[in-house]
Amino acid sequence: MLVEQITQALTAVREQKPLVVSITNYVVMNNTANALLAIGASPIMAHSKQEMAEMMAFAGALVINIGTLDSAWIPRMTFAVEQANANGKVVVLDPVGCGASILRTDTSREIARLADQLIIRGNASEIIALANEQAKSKGVDALDSSDIALSAAYFLVKEYGACVVISGETDYIVTSEQTVKLNNGHAMMPCVTGMGCTLSALTAAFAAVGEETGVAAAAVLGVVGEIAAEQSRGPGSLQLTILDELYLLDEATLAKRLKLQVINS
Ligand SMILES: Nc1ncnc2c1ncn2[C@@H]1O[C@H](COP(=O)(O)OP(=O)(O)OP(=O)(O)O)[C@@H](O)[C@H]1O
Ligand SMILES: Cc1ncsc1CCO
Ligand SMILES: [Mg+2]
């Protein structure tokens, strides 16, 4: 059963403490490292080509987040993906701002083409732009709702052999076998920068313990986000309380709170 797989994946992360290697943006390095620690995983932000082969030999998974991309980063990212491929590791691509510039769109597609085992996690506008459909975005924030991005996600699943997570008010997890709809989370979450980047980082932690669709991370962050929002006056305390609740979350609470629906495709 899917709910059981999700709760077991949470326990597996805590038991195995997988190392997640991230090439990620300057805005979220601290938030995503803390979220990984709070869930029980082990983060390392590593940007240098010189050490990437060693890193990927013992990493659990790789995050490529293009949030503060510049041309110097691109060969490092592609090299890291090649090393992940050589070691049979999952790559989580966060195509931050895809569609906002040609640099971001082209680089996202290059990474997606290169990765052998790929999970793409983006907001609706990014997923739509990555699939070459007409997206509405304002920098890194989505102006499209996640259901509008479903056809783009189906395309990306076929085009890149990827699993795709569309985040938003409703999260969709699209694989070649099924589509899962998640209705957890809270409207205050997009008022904290890097919540999506946190979701991508957690997705890599779960991939490292064999949950390679993205559903467990979306479930955990959605549930934790709504528990934390109940105790938070605004985005500042929400950001910190989410870390506390990631640390405190137990299997029973996760199972009880999940609002999950499987849509067969
Ligand atoms: N309106 C909402 N209601 C409930 N949950 C939401 C809402 N908007 C976002 N979320 C949740 O917030 C998290 C981040 O999703 P979002 O789509 O905002 O990412 P993003 O746009 O990539 O963010 P960022 O680029 O700042 O990292 C997900 O867990 C998602 O479910
Ligand atoms: C605000 C912002 N700008 C580049 S990356 C980032 C963090 C959210 O994706
Ligand atoms: Mg984002």
CA distance 140 to 176: 27
Name the helix (H) or strand (E) containing 43.
strand 42-45
Q: What average pLDDT does range 56-76 have in this prediction?
A: 97
- Ligand 2 centre from 211 Cα, in Å? 26
Mean pLDDT along residues 75-97: 98
Q: Is 121 annotated as a binding residue?
A: yes
Alpha-helix runs per DSSP H in 73-139: 74-86, 102-114, 124-130
The rounded radius of gyration (Å) of the Cα atoms in the chain is 16
C-alpha to C-alpha distance for 77 and 95, rounded to whole angstroms: 12
The pLDDT value recorded for residue 140 is 83
Q: What is the pLDDT of residue 265?
A: 61
**Separation of CA 140 and ligand 2 centre (Å):** 6
Q: Are 172 and 180 in contact (CB under 8 A)?
A: yes
Please, are residues 52 and 58 in contact by the beta-carbon 8 Å criterion?
no
Domains of the chain: 2-264 (3.40.1190.20)
How confident is the model over 8-29, as pLDDT tens digits?
999 999 999 999 999 999 999 9
Nearest-angstrom CA–CA distance, 22 and 46:
6
**Residue 170 token pair:** 């409703």
Q: What is the pLDDT of residue 134?
A: 73
**pLDDT per residue over 208-218, tens digit each?**
999 999 999 99
Backbone angles phi, psi at 120, to 5 degrees: -105, 125
Q: Is 167 annotated as a binding residue?
A: yes
Mean pLDDT (the chain, rounded): 96
CB 32 within 8 A of CB 198: yes
259 C-alpha to center of ligand 3: Å? Answer: 22
pLDDT at 171 over 90: yes
DSSP 65: E
Is the pLDDT at 181 greater than 80, yes or no?
yes
Question: 224: Cβ below 6 Å to ligand 1?
Answer: no
Atom of ligand 2 nearest to the CA of 194: 8
Which of 22, 23, 68, 96 maximizes ligand 2 atoms within 8 Å of its Cβ, making it the mutation to test the pocket? Answer: 96
pLDDT band at 236 (very low <50, low <70, confident <90, very high): very high
Q: Which two tokens stand for residue 140?
A: 């890194």
Which ligand has the nearest atom to the CA of 195? 1
Residue from 249, 176, 188 nearest 213 by CA: 176
**Closest ligand to 98 CA?**
3
Average pLDDT over residues 31-58: 97
Residue having the nearest C-alpha atom to atom 5 of ligand 2: 67
**Count of helices and strands (H, E) across the chain:** 11, 11
Predicted local confidence at residue 144, as pLDDT: 79
Closest CA to 38 of 202, 152, 190, 230: 202
For 100-124, the pLDDT digits (tens) are 999 999 999 999 999 999 999 999 9
